[in-house]
Amino acid sequence: MPNREQALAFAHENRARFLEDLKAICAIPSISTSAEYKDEVRRAAEWVAAHMQKIGLENVSVMDTPGHPVVYGEWLHAGADAPTVLVYGHYDVQPADPLDLWETPPFEPTVRGERIYARGATDMKGQVMASLDAAEAVLRSGGAPVNLKFFIEGEEEVGSLHLGKFIADHKDLLSCDVALNPDTGMLAPDIPTITYALRGLAYFELKVYGPKSDLHSGVFGGVVHNPAQVICELIAGMHDADGRVTLPGFYDKVLPLEEAERAELARLPMTEAFYLEKSGAPALWGEKGYTPVERTGARPTLEINGLYSGFIGEGAKTVLPAYAMAKISCRLVPNQDPADVEGQVRAYLEANAPKTVTWELKSFPGAPASLSRIDSAGVQALAKAQETVWGKRPVFKREGGSVPVVGDIQNILGVDVVNTGFALPDDHLHAPNESLHLPTWYKGIEALTHFFFEIGSRD
């Protein structure tokens, strides 16, 4: 018989070993966007599979996709009456550059103070391991009170390219009563948090071409429209003076915020001071008419993620560049459609790019936004688990980031997705010196242990 106290004791006693396991997986540079790291991505998948086997999951397998593999493992002995929880996660990570800004190497996990520093520590190897650690604790307590299925993918950081099809192709294998996505975060170490909305994503690479090769800026400067100047002019035109995105039709399908939800969001501690402190920016900015928490959670945005043209080395080079490149992404909210947004970017460029250049737009895989029901069984079980560990009810928030798979799980498997996770706003995810706050992580393992018992005991 599963025993909650025994499981919690196991989780507590095994903290040091859990940390060693986390270090091991974080040491593998599973950067999914770079072809050169393909073998490392597979190595991470195999590590996860071996770990699943070690903790007692069954039918473990590394399942190929046209891209990076999915790791699957299950434990289905809780009985026919017990609910089945499907846990989603990803073992791939963002690139680590700029490398020179890391205090310790990104793939040499290092504990300093209360944190572990490594690429992927918080996004989301730490969250995957917390889920597996909680499962291990539950299993070691005499068997879990729920049936467990884990599916951990390797392409989240490149937009979960093949996961939609994978879920559709494996509907029976992945069938469940509730899904858990621990790829979101908390507002602060003392504020347990449940995320009920995620923003979607549309991601583009724009190239603007001018002369057929780099030219001498003295010989041709003044008669050739500089592509770096043109790309700046195009980008500058993508926002108006009120911080609104000018792509034609961009806001047409945006679900307006209701007054009741605005009032709820206003109670969150994500004030202007919070964002100022967490970002270190000299002053905040954003769409006129919305508060910071509304701007990051409930309003769509357009960001420049990268910019390149000409000579960027040390010193001076008087080149008139042949082309310029920008990486541009939009965070989307319900009911925007990534494919619509691509059309809007093209329409904007067609209307605004001058005849002095040509351009090319490449689209990366996007995802729609998602919303979860706060009164669902899964969300309520997690709320109770968090209240037990932190001694207070969680807050409910919208998340500015994107987890493409959440929409797919909701739509294809027809179940509610519970979004949680123990990342904190200053974990520097996607940035140099990414880290994970260990005291919060240990609490997270405990909360997930409770969650498995809570949801199991509901039936």
Site for a copy of itself in 89-108 (CB under 8 A): 94-95, 97-98, 101
Footprint (CB under 8 A) of a copy of itself, residues 235-274: 235-239
The interface region with a copy of itself, picked from 50-58, 162-170, 227-235, 247-255 by CB under 8 A, is: 227-235
Residue type, 165: K
Q: Where are the alpha helices (DSSP H) in 101-226?
A: 126-140, 163-169, 217-220
Q: Which stretch binds a copy of itself (CB under 8 A): 69-77, 106-114, 320-328, 411-419?
A: 320-328
Task: Name the minimum Å distance from CB 102 to a copy of itself.
Answer: 11
CB 36 to a copy of itself: min, Å: 9
CA distances from 234 to 102, 152, 237, 240, 318 (A): 33, 39, 5, 12, 23
Residue 51 vs 199, nearer CB to a copy of itself: 199
Contact present, 293 and 265 (Cβ < 8 Å): yes
The footprint of a copy of itself on residues 359-418 (CB under 8 A) is: 364, 399-402
Is omega for the bond preceding 292 within 30 degrees of 0, making it cis?
Answer: no
Torsion of CA 311, 314, 316, 322, to 10 degrees: 0
Helices (H), 14-81: 15-26, 38-54
Query: Which residue's CB is nearer to a copy of itself, number 134 or number 324?
Result: 324
Using the rule CB under 8 A, give the single segment among 14-22, 217-225, 376-384, 385-393 that binds a copy of itself. Answer: 217-225
Identity of the residue, 205 or 337, whose beta carbon is nearer to a copy of itself in the bound complex: 205
Which residues from 322-351 bind a copy of itself, rule CB under 8 A?
A: 322, 324-327, 329, 331
Q: Which tokens go with 204?
A: 């583009």
DSSP-derived letter for residue 258 is P
One residue of 52, 121, 415, 429 binding a copy of itself per CB under 8 A: 429
Other beta carbons within 10 angstroms of residue 209's beta carbon come to 16
Would you say 143 or 310 has its CB closer to a copy of itself? 310
Alpha carbons 403 and 412: distance in angstroms, whole number: 15
- Closest CB to a copy of itself among residues 4, 299: 299
What residues numbered 57-76 form the site for a copy of itself, per CB under 8 A?
A: none
Among 303, 350, 360, 459, binds a copy of itself (CB under 8 A): 303
Nearest residue (CB) to a copy of itself, 296 versus 336 = 296
The pattern of x and - marking residues 29 through 58 that bind a copy of itself according to CB under 8 A reads ----xxx-----------------------
Contacts of 325 (CB under 8 A, 6+ apart): 205, 206, 207, 208, 231, 306, 307, 308, 309
Tally Cβ neighbours within 10 Å of residue 240. Answer: 11
* Residue window 173-212: x/- pattern of binding to a copy of itself, with contact defined by CB under 8 A: --------------------------x-x-x-x----xxx
Burial label, 205 (beta-carbon count in 10 A; 0-12, 13-18, 19+): middle
Which of these ranges, 4-12, 377-385, 431-439, 445-453, lies near a copy of itself under the rule CB under 8 A?
431-439
The nearest distance, CB 416 to a copy of itself, in angstroms, is: 22
Rounded CA separation 137/140 (Å): 5
First-last CA distance in the chain: 16
Q: Which stretch binds a copy of itself (CB under 8 A): 12-20, 39-47, 83-91, 353-361?
A: 353-361
Name residue 436's amino acid: L
Cβ neighbours, 10 Å, residue 430: 15
Residues 146-165 close enough to bind a copy of itself by CB under 8 A: 157-159
The minimum distance between CB 264 and a copy of itself, in angstroms, equals 18
- Residues 122/433, Cβ–Cβ less than 8 Å: no
Binder among 12, 165, 171, 216 for a copy of itself (CB under 8 A): 216
C-beta of 198 vs 412, nearer to a copy of itself: 198
